[in-house]
Amino acid sequence: MSEILKFQFDRPELTRPKEYAARVVYSEWLTPDTLKIAFEPTEEPMFGFVPGQYVSVLLPKDEEKGLRKELRPYSMWNHPDEFEYVVTIAKMVDGGRCTTLLRNMKEGDAVTFVGPLGSFFLRRPLHPHLYFVATGTGLVPMRAMIKDLISTGEINDCDVTLYFGVRSEADLFETAELQRWNDRFPRFTFVPTLSRPGEGWTGARGRVTDHLAAIDFPVDDMQIYLCGNGAMVNDVVELMESRGLSRRTRRLVLEKYFG
Ligand X SMILES: Cc1cc2nc3c(=O)[nH]c(=O)nc-3n(C[C@H](O)[C@H](O)[C@H](O)COP(=O)(O)OP(=O)(O)OC[C@H]3O[C@@H](n4cnc5c(N)ncnc54)[C@H](O)[C@@H]3O)c2cc1C
Interface residues toward ligand X, by CB under 6 A: 54, 72-75, 88-91, 93, 95-99, 118, 137, 140, 255, 257-258
Question: How many angstroms separate the first and last alpha carbons of the chain?
Answer: 28
Identity of the residue, 90 or 236, whose beta carbon is nearer to ligand X in the bound complex: 90
From CA 90, how far away is CA 77, in angstroms rounded? 10
Give 58 or 158: the residue with its C-beta nearer to ligand X: 58
The amino acid that residue 20 corresponds to is Y
Nearer to ligand X, 90 or 130 (CB): 90
Identity of the residue numbered 22: A
Contact 121, 48 (CB under 8 A): no
Nearer to ligand X, 99 or 189 (CB): 99
For residues 36 and 68, what is the distance between their CA atoms, to the nearest angstrom? Answer: 26
Nearest-approach distance from CB 75 to ligand X, in angstroms: 4
Q: Which residue is closest to ligand X by CB? A: 96
Give the residue from 188, 249, 239 showing the smallest Cα distance to 212.
239
We find the least distance from the C-beta atom of residue 216 to ligand X, in angstroms, to be 31
Among 63, 136, 60, 55, CA closest to 97: 60
Nearer to ligand X, 75 or 209 (CB): 75
Cβ proximity to ligand X, 155 vs 254, nearer residue:
254
Q: What whole-number distance in Å separates Cα of residue 49 and Cα of residue 215?
A: 33
249 Cβ neighbours under 8 A, 6+ residues apart: none
User: Whole-angstrom Cα distance, residue 123 to residue 234?
Assistant: 20
